[in-house]
A and B are shown apart, each in its own frame.
Chain A
Amino acid sequence: MKKDYTGVIKSLGAVLLGLLAGAILMLAIGANPLKGFFYLFQGGFKSIERFGNIFAIATTLILTGLSVAFAFRTGLFNIGAAGQMLMGGLCATMIGLSFDSLPRIILLPFMFIVALLGGAIWGIIPGLLKARFNVHEVVATIMMNWIAYWIVYYVIGDYFTSGLLETESASIPAVAQLRLPWLTDLLNGSYLNLGIVVSIACVIIIKFILDRTTLGYELKAVGYNRHAAQYAGIKVNRSIILSMMIAGGLAGLAGLTYYTGYSINIQIGVLPTQGFDGIAVALLGATTPWGVFFSAAFFGLLHAGKGFMSANTIIPPQIADTIIAIIIYFTATSLFIEKMWVKMKTRRLEKKNIKSGGDE
């Protein structure tokens, strides 16, 4: 069977256009784009520590990306990964800070479960509203994002700060961190932590659910055509709620890996950009689990290298976020890229035909 590469071509096209736009921006502020990209990639690869950081950053993006991609497969747009991630992170942080006398082997699974639940609940609510009252999930999840934002603001701000800084929680004690001392030492102080195991396991599990289970089949059927699925006897409302619950749970785990593995505290007054980057990751990865993995790694590279680039050039680090946003824009307009690609292919084919016709 011939493999269909349209998805890969579309993604690569969007990445190329994004990088090109980034280069134009660098030129516009009087910087040399070749130098910029050289430092950007060097910043990602020059040492084992930085290489580890690519995947430390990707850990969270894989999970938010999976969250968005999974909901997308059921035809739902989960723009609330940021809020679900916050709630997962909040629950894990509260447990980590409150029960630091528990042994690690009990505490970490406990945090894992509450993060999963926190995110899942934040996903179920818009799922229920969609299934029961036909409230558009985009609007509902945006509202849920801001509710989560303010809950974290007051719960952390009022009860879990260290007293020194009012804008962040106290640091997560070592026993409750996902960081592994031997791994940190091995990678010369990289932020890479247990979270990467969680995120890769999730990639495999989600791949399995989507491709090999009845649940996955039903969810995808609802995504392709809600009415046909209903007619075929699939419980559409149940699928919507389940899909949002799983998507929320995945984003909740993203919060666990970020706030207790990568940053080891939770800042208030911030909606995590990873939630929105997850949309880019999911779309760039063509909403497939391994596609999500590779696009998260690519964005991880951009984020890991941007500081080094900015230190060595006049280019501000926001270039990475700008490139990511441009990539999303081009994946949204991928139809355009697809059309161009098909046109190019047919033109080449026509040329070939004309040529071979001429030879006869």
Chain B
Amino acid sequence: MKDMIDIIVNIFPYAIAFTIPLLITSLGGLYSERSGIVNIGLEGLMVVGFFAGAVTIKTLEVALPDLSIVIGLLVGIIAGVLFSMLHAFASINLNANQVISGTAINMLAGALTVFLARTITGSGNIGIRLGIVRWDVPLLSEIPVIGPLFFQKTYYTTWIVLAIWGFSWFLLYKTSFGLRLRACGEHPNAAASAGVNVIKMRYIGVMVSGGLAGLGGAVMIATYAGEFNGTVAGLGFLALAALIFGQWKPLGILGAAFFFGFARTIADASQVIPQFENFPPLILKIFPYVVTLIALVLFSKSSKAPKASGEPFDLSGK
């Protein structure tokens, strides 16, 4: 038992570091899907933020060692927003198939960022010297058990992301803006007849998803990744899985992201954890995906997916 606690304490910081980009990207997907636009381009939007963050931090890290990471995170958000507008324009204005447009976003992000990275560095990899320094939260980190788990050696981005999560819950469920956004994903025609600008709301939904996914990618480079290499290794798709497993709800997403984050971290660390030594790592790796499929089957009768998600909204009212 003592061993188990030690293991948990040891892997906790890694699991949280891995979970945070997943959580924020998944939350981004929530905004988009709640507004009625399916966004399977999350993976690509993360890659864009990952790239933009890496380039910015690398460019500024000598001149502005302290500020470079903050600016890198902001540039990651902006890059994600701009890139997501391609998806917004295609899905909202041109009534494009949202899945195809999202796939194009994924492919374009992967190809374009490596194309640019190779032009910049030659090798296509962009490494940064120093990421965010881990930091103990004053006072709280001294609480026994909880302190070492949650408040020691944390990245400040973790707290920013959790704050955005809390704010999003408030925004989506406690404000008229949130009600309007959700209405656009459930019944856009009814929302429109009540005077909601569906086009504008959907643009906001997609652009927020781009910004948050971009932040997710930028957090990766600023925390544990250290180097841009052209891919986020399926983390964006895992975020999509967390969105579904969380049944399109902020609290559900929080739980799903931590669940997947921990599952993935245990899988990655299973060789060095005695208890998992003989456990096939394959099972741990495919766990999130299998669980998502099972969840989809179980919830198939009572899916909480936004009803109009994926359906184009035609102003002419056809």
Mark interface residues in A64-100 (1 if CB within 8 Å of B CB, else 0). Answer: 0000000000000101000000000000000000000
Is A297 interfacial (CB-CB < 8 Å)? no
Question: Closest approach, in angstroms, between the C-beta of A24 and any C-beta of chain B?
Answer: 12
If A142-B40, A322-B111 touch, does A276 touch B234 (CB 8 Å cutoff)? no
Residue of B nearest to A327 (CB): B104
Q: A146, B96: Cβ atoms under 8 Å?
A: no
Q: A324, B107: Cβ atoms under 8 Å?
A: yes
Is B153 interfacial (CB-CB < 8 Å)? no
**Cα distance A144–B292 when bound, in Å?**
10
Chain B residues, CB < 8 A from A154: 280-282, 285
Chain A residues, CB < 8 A from B86: 329
Q: A328, B285: Cβ atoms under 8 Å?
A: no
Is B244 interfacial (CB-CB < 8 Å)? yes
Q: B282, A325: Cβ atoms under 8 Å?
A: no
Residues 268-285 of A contacting B (Cβ, < 8 Å): 271, 276-277, 279-280, 283
Question: Closest approach, in angstroms, between the C-beta of B246 and any C-beta of chain A?
Answer: 13
If A138-B99, A283-B100 touch, does A147 touch B94 (CB 8 Å cutoff)? no
Q: B285, A150: Cβ atoms under 8 Å?
A: yes
Residue of B nearest to A271 (CB): B234
Show 8 A/B contacts (Cβ-Cβ < 8 Å), sorted by A.
A142-B237, A143-B241, A146-B237, A271-B234, A316-B119, A316-B124, A325-B107, A329-B108
Is B224 interfacial (CB-CB < 8 Å)? no
Is B11 interfacial (CB-CB < 8 Å)? no
Q: B90, A150: Cβ atoms under 8 Å?
A: no
Q: A142, B94: Cβ atoms under 8 Å?
A: no
Question: Closest approach, in angstroms, between the C-beta of A120 and any C-beta of chain B?
Answer: 18
Q: B104, A332: Cβ atoms under 8 Å?
A: yes
Q: Which of A36-44, A101-109, A129-137, A238-246 contacts B (4 or more CB under 8 A)?
A: A129-137
Chain B residues, CB < 8 A from A197: none
Residue of B nearest to A330 (CB): B104
Q: B293, A319: Cβ atoms under 8 Å?
A: no
Q: B107, A146: Cβ atoms under 8 Å?
A: no
Q: B297, A279: Cβ atoms under 8 Å?
A: no
Chain A residues, CB < 8 A from B296: 129, 133, 135-136, 139-140
Residues 195-254 of B contacting A (Cβ, < 8 Å): 234, 237-238, 240-241, 244
- 4 A-B pairs besides A276-B106, A325-B107, A325-B112 with CB distance below 8 A are A25-B115, A143-B292, A325-B111, A329-B104
Which residue in B40, B95, B290 is a CB contact (below 8 Å) of A138? B40
Is A259 interfacial (CB-CB < 8 Å)? no
Main secondary structure of the interface of B (DSSP, over half): helix
Q: A318, B115: Cβ atoms under 8 Å?
A: yes
Chain B residues, CB < 8 A from A129: 293, 296-297
Q: B104, A328: Cβ atoms under 8 Å?
A: yes
Could you say which interface size class chain A belongs to?
Answer: 35 or more
**Cα distance A146–B289 when bound, in Å?**
7
Chain B residues, CB < 8 A from A149: 234
Q: B107, A328: Cβ atoms under 8 Å?
A: yes
Is B134 interfacial (CB-CB < 8 Å)? no
Which of B95, B99, B108, B111 has its CB near the most chain A CB atoms (within 10 A)? B111
Chain A residues, CB < 8 A from B10: none
Is A326 interfacial (CB-CB < 8 Å)? yes
Which of B100, B105, B244, B296 has its CB near the most chain A CB atoms (within 10 A)? B100
Is A200 interfacial (CB-CB < 8 Å)? no
Main secondary structure of the interface of A (DSSP, over half): helix
**Cα distance A140–B289 when bound, in Å?**
9
Q: A325, B108: Cβ atoms under 8 Å?
A: yes
**Cα distance A79–B107 when bound, in Å?**
13
Is A335 interfacial (CB-CB < 8 Å)? yes
Residues 286-329 of A contacting B (Cβ, < 8 Å): 314, 316, 318-319, 321-322, 324-326, 328-329
Q: B100, A331: Cβ atoms under 8 Å?
A: yes
Question: Closest approach, in angstroms, between the C-beta of A354 and any C-beta of chain B?
Answer: 28
Chain A positions near chain B (C-beta within 8 angstroms): 25, 29, 77, 79, 129, 133-136, 138-140, 142-147, 149-151, 153-154, 271, 276-277, 279-280, 283, 314, 316, 318-319, 321-322, 324-326, 328-329, 331-333, 335-336
Is B275 interfacial (CB-CB < 8 Å)? no
Which residue in B95, B99, B110 is a CB contact (below 8 Å) of A79? B99
Chain A residues, CB < 8 A from B112: 25, 318, 322, 325
Question: Closest approach, in angstroms, between the C-beta of B124 and any C-beta of chain A?
Answer: 8
Question: Closest approach, in angstroms, between the C-beta of B291 and any C-beta of chain A?
Answer: 9
Question: Closest approach, in angstroms, between the C-beta of B264 and any C-beta of chain A?
Answer: 11
Question: Closest approach, in angstroms, between the C-beta of A347 and any C-beta of chain B?
Answer: 20
Chain B residues, CB < 8 A from A336: 94
Chain A residues, CB < 8 A from B90: 329, 332-333
Question: Closest approach, in angstroms, between the C-beta of B210 and any C-beta of chain A?
Answer: 15
Chain B residues, CB < 8 A from A151: 282, 286
Chain B residues, CB < 8 A from A328: 100, 103-104, 107
**Cα distance A151–B100 when bound, in Å?**
27
Residue of B nearest to A154 (CB): B282
**Cα distance A133–B293 when bound, in Å?**
11
**Cα distance A279–B99 when bound, in Å?**
11
Question: Closest approach, in angstroms, between the C-beta of A214 and any C-beta of chain B?
Answer: 28
**Cα distance A136–B292 when bound, in Å?**
12
Q: A147, B290: Cβ atoms under 8 Å?
A: yes
Q: A279, B111: Cβ atoms under 8 Å?
A: no
Q: B103, A335: Cβ atoms under 8 Å?
A: no
Q: A318, B118: Cβ atoms under 8 Å?
A: yes
Chain B residues, CB < 8 A from A333: 90, 94, 96, 101
